[in-house]
Structure 1
Amino acid sequence: MSSQPQPASRPSEPAAPDAGTLAGAQQLTDVITRLRRALRSSIRSEFPWEALPMAQVELLQTLAVAPMRVGELAARQRLAPNTVSGLISKLLESGLVDRQPDPGDRRTARIALTEAGHQQLRDWRSAHERRLAAALESLAPDDRAAVMHALPGLDLLARSLAGTDPTR
């Protein structure tokens, strides 16, 4: 009988994607990167007031659902708590959020959108929707239909990547 320790067993790794799936993933990565960059730059050139960094916009979107503690926000956004605290400080300074007492724990505070924060988020969404609608209208009808047809699959892909895929 050997007294040598046995190597720990590893959970089985997922199978490597086939070449076609990998090529599709590479193309999707490129398209998403270019789409995000184009949307950010075009929205700022057409709507110069839009200066909120995307990380702050994402916090506002999360807080639009319900007020949260900094730790909860950090977990939701998958960011370090100190990063979220810095972003919240800037949002507090600009009056887009405020601190509220947490009814469940008086030692902590929840961050909530102010009316100015709600309005900024509505303006941001409206500007992006107008920009995307104009870009969609500039496409040939078949291309526009293809983009619209892909939306449910892209939504499922986003949920899968976030670990919130309801089909699992």
Structure 2
Amino acid sequence: MSTGHRTKVGPSVEDGIRTLLLLMPRIVARIKRSKIPDELQSFSLAPRHLSLLAYLLFDGPMGVNELAARLEVAPATVSLMVSELSRRGVLDRREDDADRRRTIVSIAEQHHPAVDAWLSKGAEAWRKALQPLTPAQRITVIDALQTYERELSTPESSGTAR
């Protein structure tokens, strides 16, 4: 049961759960309300595209298999997304000069500034949240979010809210 009090070292687990359960819907709502730049509006971009575009923006051009591994989806899924976005002109595809069987994917030059603008607000928010933390604290935050996401994707358990 939550007392609503914090100890000197931080909230109890139950108080932390309460705070995060109330905070997460607000965060998700704000993310969903973030305005897609006018230039990208007509492309019907979905959350799945956001992760793909973020990898290409932050890490540069890469192959479909590498994107699939990073997104933790099948290469066929990434191929479909890449085909869809390249037909719309958001992404460029080219053969790898070293291996002609491999396709290298990148953000189309004309859309790079709009994609960067779209993702920069989230990146800046994370920068402000993570910068004051020590590297160990950053690992804790990232590990906690990854565990939360992983647990949400597991089959329903018999756990109940307290």
Pick the TM interval, shorter chain: 0.5 to 0.7
Whether the aligned pair in 1 keeps the contact of 2:92 and 2:107 (CA below 8 Å) is yes
Aligned to 2:69: 75
Normalised to the residue count of structure 2, the TM-score between the two structures is 0.59
8 Å CA contact retained: 1:60, 1:117: no
C-alpha deviation, 1:60, in angstroms: 1.3
Residue equivalent to 2:53: 60
**RMSD over aligned Cα atoms:** 3.6
Larger RCO (alpha carbons 8 Å, 6+ apart): 2
Change (3 A) 1:35 1:150: farther
Given candidates 29, 35, 38, the residue that maps to 1:37 is 29
Q: 1:156 Cα shift?
A: 3.0
Partner of 2:93: 99
Query: Which letter does structure 1 place at the counterpart of 2:51?
Result: E
Letter in 2 for 1:75: A
Moved over 6 A (4+): none
Q: C-alpha deviations, 1:1-20, integer Å up to 9, x for none?
A: xxxxxxxxxxxxxxxxxxx4
Instruction: Name 1:159's counterpart in structure 2.
Output: 142
Higher CA-based Rg: 1
Amino acid of the structure 2 residue aligned with 1:107: R
Work out whether residues 94 and 105 of structure 2, in 8 Å CA contact, stay in contact via their aligned partners in 1.
Answer: yes
Following the alignment from structure 2 to structure 1, what is the Cα–Cα distance between the partners of residues 142 and 110? 30
Q: Write the deviation string for residues 56-93 of structure 1: whole angstroms up to 9, x where unpaired.
A: 12211111222111111011111222222222122102
CA shift at 1:96, angstroms? 1.3
Question: Which stretches in structure 1 are left out of the alignment for 5+ residues?
Answer: 1-19, 133-146, 164-168
Q: Judge conservation of contact 1:102–1:109 (CA < 8 Å) in 2.
A: yes
Q: Deviations 1:3-60 (Å, cap 9, x if unpaired)?
A: xxxxxxxxxxxxxxxxx4365246425523431223312536x979645212212211
Name which of structure 1's ranges 62-71 and 153-162 shifts more when overlaid on structure 2: 153-162
Quote the Cα distance in structure 2 between the aligned partners of 1:114 and 1:162.
Answer: 30
User: 2: distance between equivalents of 1:100 and 1:27?
Assistant: 47
Cα distance in 1, alignment partners of residues 104 and 38 from structure 2: 31
- Secondary structure of 1:100's match? strand
**% identity of equivalent residues:** 28
Provide the rounded CA distance (Å) in 2 between the counterparts of 1:42 and 1:113. Answer: 20
